Amino acid sequence: MDAFFASVEQRDNPELRGKPIAVGGDSDRGVVATASYEARPWGVHSAMSMRVAKRLCPGLIVLPGRYQVYKEVSRQMHAIFHEYTDLVEPISLDEAFLDVTHNKKGIELAVDMPVR
């Protein structure tokens, strides 16, 4: 998932929806862990210096990470993955490979899998 941390923040705080946000350290040495889609047109992206991000996007809202929350949301997503297949290879909190060739739902084509 792209912009995972930022998406969780916008889900949990509707006032942040539609606004440019970055999750990460808010100091001169801070780094952007992720940026919302609204921040990206300004050139803000992950692994960028927060100081540079704030210069590029003056209205950027910087939030500290809530990694326990992201971990729980990730657990919920993986539970959904396992409704379709036991062949789940986690890569990180927001990434996984799924083999749905012979899935639990009997769906013939991966493109026909429902998106939640």
Distance CA 92, CA 26 (A): 23
Check which CATH number belongs to the domain holding 86 and give it: 3.30.70.270
Tens digit of pLDDT for each residue in 68-78?
A: 999 999 999 99
Based on the fold, state whether residues 56 and 26 are members of the same structural domain. yes
Task: List the domain range (segments joined by +) for residue 21.
Answer: 4-65
Nearest Cα residue to 34 out of 49, 43, 24, 25: 24
The number of domains in the chain is: 2
Which of the following is catalytic: 9, 15, 95, 108?
A: 95
The answer to whether residue 108 is catalytic is: no
The pTM of this model reads 0.86
Based on the fold, state whether residues 50 and 78 are members of the same structural domain. no
Tens digit of pLDDT for each residue in 1-50?
A: 679 999 999 999 999 999 999 999 999 899 999 999 999 999 999 999 99
Based on the fold, state whether residues 60 and 72 are members of the same structural domain. no
